Structure 1
């Protein structure tokens, strides 16, 4: 037997090759790393599966309601109502945004269309664009389930703050000539991001609602023949689609709901996976140390949390509904209440969306929108934090949503057939040659 010292001890592997202790240690470390990685990946899958299960029924319900509402809309009429720069137009822009799609990319495309057709910056870029991504039904349902009702209320009130602050900036701080240049800027998407073509579901306003407002006169650039043709076209479209709850009307609404899914499913999956990886791989202590750079409870702590929320919202590249699972990760890790809201509000300045701003409106307006939204998301988070602290409505960090496991099971069982019916109406029924109403 060969004698060796402690540090050069050897053992013989199955093949007869001698391995030193250091080599054995390195191999064992690699094996341990693989086991740990496998365990972490299992945690990621568990996080994603649990979140998906918890919010499945809410997504189906939210997209169904959104599809049904959008079956009633007239985008041209909406533009006529949003030309002014006062509170009325801001309120209408927010309301129409609330009724629209939750997809951030769809929202900025629709905003671009109504802005370039004459809607004011306050009603379009501030009110409509923000409300259509952060104040829609489905994101409220998901926040209620994962975070709790307090966050739903905070998201709504914080959204009001943000829209008001953004409208002040667009009306009083940004020169009107910049907006005119943005309207005249040629589209640089080159057809690759023609959202209006992708979205045949640009918002339409209920006719009975519109009848209560005084319409503006038609544009002088539109001939009477064109105006008549447009009116007849929309009359036929509404006659065909808006006989709710007729069978054709519901089929049309179901297809709009599936169209919503097609636009956001990838964002939702990416958001869940990113949140899952961060929850599994980033230690809680890392976030705790980051949020503890300022003494807890001080203004500096709240401001730092809101700043971190905005920055993380930008660099994580996820948007709208997909932000909520990651917001839960941040909230559980100790970010201030307002920081969660600032994170959610930052979904309109992720890099790919800012690049679309550049293509739609030019570099100057893209930078202006980025700086403005960054600022108002930061400030709104601070304001809503202190408002809820003053009202004693800030929940415990361990508080989750309001739907128990039993109710989640029942609701998922009830809403899954509805989703399957929407899939059938959208993809299977047209192949049989019946009800060929397109979304």
Structure 2
């Protein structure tokens, strides 16, 4: 099973590292000013291309929200980060089949739409400000450092030119390693449990 999913994880983490190298967290925050359909679509796309670690996704969504991003857009970003990332889709297709993968990638956007509608109806500005004040208190979780770190490089030049620079290579490699470090414990634990079940539980 490890070899079945390893290439998908490497590919997904590499693509995520490239995106995080090219797009700064400040740019992401500027792109999420409200809860319009366009902004939510952008939040979903950026989330799907970002870290697949749920802890880091929550920490980053909170950081974006505290620094001015719209709450609903930050939640859309978080949901996409944990449900719509590329490596998750590939692994689901390999292990569970295309039907589960399709359901995941249909259900994720639907979840974001439903939450956006519920927030628009029931979430008051007072509650949003209370949430922002609470988030700003700075209670640090295990992945706050990951969320606060911005390895993006300056925007001069084409994508390929920026990635080929020493700074681009260094930033991409550092983010790639951080992605592995963020979820390595979960991956190893999951594979050990799955292997134990496969070996000990009869068909």
Q: Is the 8 A contact 1:89 1:123 kept in 2?
A: yes
**Which of 24, 28, 45 is matched with 1:74 structurally?**
24
Q: Distance in 1 between matches of 2:171 and 2:119?
A: 37
Q: Distance in 2 between matches of 1:202 and 1:155?
A: 29
**Structure 1 unpaired stretches of 5+:** 1-50, 205-233, 285-439
- Which one has the largest radius of gyration? 1
- Matches of residues 148-227 of structure 1 in structure 2 within 5 Å? 148-185=97-134, 186-187=136-137, 189=139, 191=140, 193=141, 195-199=143-147, 201-202=149-150
- 1:120 alignment counterpart: 70
Distance 1:103 1:183, change over 3 A: same
Distance 1:99 1:175, change over 3 A: same
Distance 1:203 1:136, change over 3 A: farther
Whether 2:169 is the aligned partner of 1:250: answer yes
1:124 Cα deviation (Å)?
0.7
Q: Is the 8 A contact 2:32 2:69 kept in 1?
A: yes
Q: Is the 8 A contact 1:68 1:250 kept in 2?
A: no
1:58 Cα deviation (Å)?
1.3
The 4+ residue runs of structure 1 with deviation greater than 6 A are none
CA offsets 1:357-401 (integer angstroms, 9 cap, x no match): xxxxxxxxxxxxxxxxxxxxxxxxxxxxxxxxxxxxxxxxxxxxx
Q: Distance in 1 between matches of 2:77 and 2:59?
A: 11
User: TM-score if structure 2 supplies the norm length?
Assistant: 0.85
Q: Distance in 2 between matches of 1:122 and 1:248?
A: 34
Q: Secondary structure at the match of 1:119?
A: coil
Whether 2:31 is the aligned partner of 1:58: answer no
Q: Distance in 1 between matches of 2:124 and 2:151?
A: 28
Whether 2:59 is the aligned partner of 1:140: answer no
Q: Is the 8 A contact 2:151 2:175 kept in 1?
A: no
1:172 Cα deviation (Å)?
1.0
Q: Is the 8 A contact 1:110 1:202 kept in 2?
A: no
Aligned length: 200
Q: Is the 8 A contact 2:93 2:101 kept in 1?
A: yes
User: TM-score if structure 1 supplies the norm length?
Assistant: 0.42
- Matches of residues 226-237 of structure 1 in structure 2 within 5 Å? 235=154
Distance 1:122 1:69, change over 3 A: same
Q: Secondary structure at the match of 1:257?
A: helix
- 1:87 alignment counterpart: 37
- Matches of residues 98-117 of structure 1 in structure 2 within 5 Å? 98-117=48-67
Q: Is the 8 A contact 1:73 1:203 kept in 2?
A: no
1:273 Cα deviation (Å)?
2.6
1:202 Cα deviation (Å)?
4.8
Q: Distance in 2 between matches of 1:148 and 1:173?
A: 37
**Structure 2 unpaired stretches of 5+:** none
Give the root-mean-square deviation of aligned CA atoms. Answer: 2.6
Q: Secondary structure at the match of 2:70?
A: coil
Structure with more relative contact order (C-alpha pairs < 8 Å, separation 6 or more)? 2
